[in-house]
Chains A and B, each alone.
Chain A
Amino acid sequence: KQEVTQIPAALSVPEGENLVLNCSFTDSAIYNLQWFRQDPGKGLTSLLLIQSSQREQTSGRLNASLDKSSGRSTLYIAASQPGDSATYLCAVENTGNQFYFGTGTSLTVIP
């Protein structure tokens, strides 16, 4: 079974700092990987989708990379803002249309 791990579990940074969130997975036979944001008590919002054949995706201040062979992905957030405070989750899709989620990184950006 696919196991997804996210490190660190929690992160606190001052506003304006660049930061990196990590995601690792045990089975490299993935179809794609997605990064999500979740605000307290809310559903998840998809931030970036990386296909297994791609190396990275960018959206605004966010950049996600994928190294399938080593089972790792990173989410880079540039110039962090207090509004970025949320839990960030990564999910991998194996063939068979099942998504496996990590437990997330809780990010706090201090003004």
Chain B
Amino acid sequence: DTGVSQDPRHKITKRGQNVTFRCDPISEHNRLYWYRQTLGQGPEFLTYFQNEAQLEKSRLLSDRFSAERPKGSFSTLEIQRTEQGDSAMYLCASSSDRVFDEKLFFGSGTQLSVL
């Protein structure tokens, strides 16, 4: 068990470009979450997968954001036509759905800077 992995760690892009982030959850976890965090704030929920199904999506998530989790394993988060307001730390987390075993395990995050 190597924990939750996120790639890349840092991404600098120009406004209007598309970016894609990858998350590899803990292998036996069937729940996967994406969060966004800005400086001094707590993580803000973006979306949630149970296996390959995307079950929840924040109303704050614009149409420029899309996430996938093919085959219920790794997940990708894509941001199209990036804006400066998208600059943030993007965090991925996974958990089991076994009762009393639902601790969230986070990756180290991808820091996005939009110039």
Interface residue ranges, A against B (CB under 8 Å): 4, 32, 34, 36, 41-46, 49, 51, 89, 91, 93, 96-104
B31 at the interface (CB under 8 A from A): yes
Which residues 2-43 in B have Cβ within 8 Å of A in the complex? 4, 6, 31, 33, 35, 40-43
A43 to B33, CA, bound (A): 13
- Tell me whether A43 and B107 are in contact (CB under 8 A): yes
Say how far B108's CB is from chain A's closest CB, in angstroms. Answer: 5
Q: Which residue of A lies closest to B4 (CB)?
A: A43
Tell me whether A49 and B48 are in contact (CB under 8 A).
no
A46 with B104: in contact, given A98-B48, A98-B56 (CB under 8 Å)? yes
A4/B42 contact (C-beta < 8 A), A43-B109, A96-B56, A97-B56 known? yes
- Supposing A44-B91, A101-B42, A103-B40 touch, asked if A93 and B108 sit within 8 A by C-beta, the answer is no
A91 CB contacts on chain B under 8 angstroms: 42-43, 104
Cα(A99)–Cα(B107), bound, Å: 16
